[in-house]
Chains A and B, each alone.
Chain A
């Protein structure tokens, strides 16, 4: 391939030049290319970061009367917590992922502890065999009406009955449909929650098509509930804050 044959048409003429074989050695070329490839592989990235959009409310003091009150039946509060081992987040030996716990209650905080449901614990498990597990299952059940419609839209999109743009638009409209029973989720990251824990919680909102949620800091009543949970289960949940800042 790299030789160039100089053919003389088969006729031998007197004083014809000797057949020359020109061989181009491509080895240095390959060497150089390999170096360039290595350079590009090390200095570039193929993974483009994704973004997750969030909208936070104003942090100015809002009068109680002006605050939008959620219906008690719709509200669900998630208190996030990350387990620590020493000063590093605890990693589950099996999955290699950080252990996050979610303590949740529905409606307003039940400080009389009349039902065992005053506080329950779940984890971010995701899906197992395409079935939602853990906290996802609970949130999904809360948002059942929206999710049913969403699944329908998804099938339509997969069957190419509607375009991606139409799907996005309809899904957004569906998630904000006030005719349906939709939950209001309050996410309360505890002092030891890692950033990943928060992102996981926000992810669940997106997966479960929950359009109404807010991020708040834990309140005194939440501590009361956690303390009671500690007593009942004989566990230490409220640990000293890892970062003393």
Chain B
């Protein structure tokens, strides 16, 4: 009797094809996606039929925090309406985000100290340089020195805690009788001034290419109104958003955009 021979098959699986597929997938993801920007709080923007894309460069985003949705807080609206600002400069020019942010901070500080002569805020050069690296921030001027001397992780933790009264750019006191601007208005004014100085004075000594990107920045920020985008949660009450609108109007920035997600016309809105 002959024994039945069981053929031993090699268990080696050829992974080359698999590897090919994963590399293709990887390439796809790398080319089509953009990195998520770190934001201190998550908001879900409402959807709209508008198809205009958010500009990648030269954008000022104003983020309005939403009410607490986790249900952990007794008063969910306590964390609502905190303001954060982020500046994005031109990606490939001499006016990178970092440089623009530093210019804006210096300008804003000058305005602030001019209005608060009794309690001026001063920052070291190192702190100003540190500010250039922050994508989105939301602290009052008086907290800036403390905020900028923190490490990155500490800063994220600090900003992420919406119930902290030190978080959020102060916006109350619109149209003060004594003409004093609130922190949010000072930032807006600084942005406006920086865009204008760049446009007026500095175009002279620049190469045509640089001058063009400066003009783009100015146009984006000020003229077309694409430069300022308000980002708020869909469940945020209008009154909270209105406050921001009102401040923008006071600063004569009547043209701006609202961040939305895309939906089709046929989709029911309710």
A pairs with B: yes
Contact call A55/B254, Cβ cutoff below 8 A: yes
Interface assignment of B34: CB less than 8 Å from any CB of chain A:
yes
Q: A2-B16, A88-B235, A203-B269 are in contact. List 16 more A-B contacts (CB 8 A).
A: A23-B12, A33-B23, A48-B53, A49-B231, A50-B50, A52-B257, A53-B225, A54-B257, A55-B254, A58-B254, A59-B246, A126-B265, A192-B237, A195-B46, A196-B46, A197-B238
> Which residues from 53 to 67 on chain A have a C-beta closer than 8 Å to any C-beta of chain B?
53-59
- What size tier do the contact residues of chain A reach? 35 or more
* Bound Cα distance A123, B270 (Å): 8
Which secondary structure dominates chain A's binding surface?
A: mixed
Taken residue by residue from 228 to 245, chain B's Cβ proximity to chain A (1 for < 8 Å, 0 otherwise) reads as: 010111111111111001
Task: Check if B119 is an interface residue, CB within 8 A of chain A.
Answer: no
Q: Which residues of B contact A43 (CB under 8 A)?
A: 35-36
Q: With A189-B238, A198-B238, A199-B46 given, is the CB distance from A52 to B18 under 8 Å?
A: no
Binary flags per residue of A69-82, CB closer than 8 Å to B gives 1, else 0: 00000000000100
Is A199 a contact partner of B258 (Cβ separation < 8 A)?
yes
Contact B15–A2 (Cβ < 8 Å): yes
Which one, A27, A36, A52, contacts B260 given CB within 8 A? A52
Say yes or no for A242: interface residue by CB 8 A criterion: yes
- Chain A residues closer than 8 Å to B1, beta-carbon distance: none
Binding site for A on B (CB under 8 A): 12, 14-19, 22-23, 25-26, 29-30, 32-36, 45-54, 67, 76-77, 80-81, 225-226, 229, 231-242, 245-246, 248-250, 252, 254-262, 265-270
Q: Which of B50, B234, B254, B268 contacts A56 (CB 8 A)?
A: B254
Contacts of A141-190 to chain B: CB distance below 8 A? 189-190
The reply to whether B268 and A51 contact each other, CB–CB distance below 8 Å, is: no
Instruction: A125 to B269: give the CA distance in the assembly, Å.
Output: 6
Chain A proximity of B138: nearest CB distance (Å): 18
Counting CB contacts under 8 A, is A223 at the interface? no
**Contact yes or no, A97 B259, CB < 8 A:** no
Residues on B with beta carbons closer than 8 Å to the beta carbon of A50: 48, 50-54, 259-262
